[in-house]
Amino acid sequence: MPDELNGPTEPTDPTKRVQLSAPDDTERKIGQVHDRAMELKATVADKLEAGAGKLRDRVSSAEMAGVTPKTRAKLEQASQKVAAGMENTADWVRTADAEKAKAGIEHQVKTRPGRSLLVALGLGVLLGSIFRRK
């Protein structure tokens, strides 16, 4: 029923009701996607940190028959660098802001288009070879 001062309070046409509720549904779905993305970020970061720990444990506890102490030291040093990189990446994933990342990528593409194109090409080839093998 129309309100004399404010007009209709609820649309009588069912299609108008759907149109009015569509923005609410969209906002709800955007919220759900955002929540899922946050969960995914946390999961990826946790897996990176766990992988770094496993890498350190395996190299330090591995029995390497026939490996010289010098080679073992180099292997341990390399694994420490890789593990530290994985932990740094986990920290970045946890604190990364999508808008900042987008702005950074746009800046790189505008300032160094050739290099950006080569990086994109390299990533495409790498991902293509990974997915082709599976």
121/86 Cα distance (integer angstroms): 24
Amino acid at 102: K
pLDDT at 116: 93
Contact 79, 55 (CB under 8 A): yes
Burial degree of 48 (CB within 10 A; 0-12, 13-18, 19+): buried
Which of 79, 39, 32, 40 has its CA nearest to residue 58? 79
Q: How far apart are CA 76 and CA 65, in angstroms?
A: 15
pLDDT for position 50: 92
> pLDDT tens string for the chain (134 positions)?
455 555 555 555 555 555 555 677 888 888 888 888 888 888 999 999 999 998 888 877 766 667 788 888 888 899 899 999 999 999 988 888 878 888 998 999 999 999 999 999 998 998 888 888 76
What pLDDT sits at residue 132? 86
Beta-ladder partners of 8: 2
At residue 113, the pLDDT reads 93
Q: What is the pTM of this model?
A: 0.53
What is the pLDDT at residue 66?
A: 72
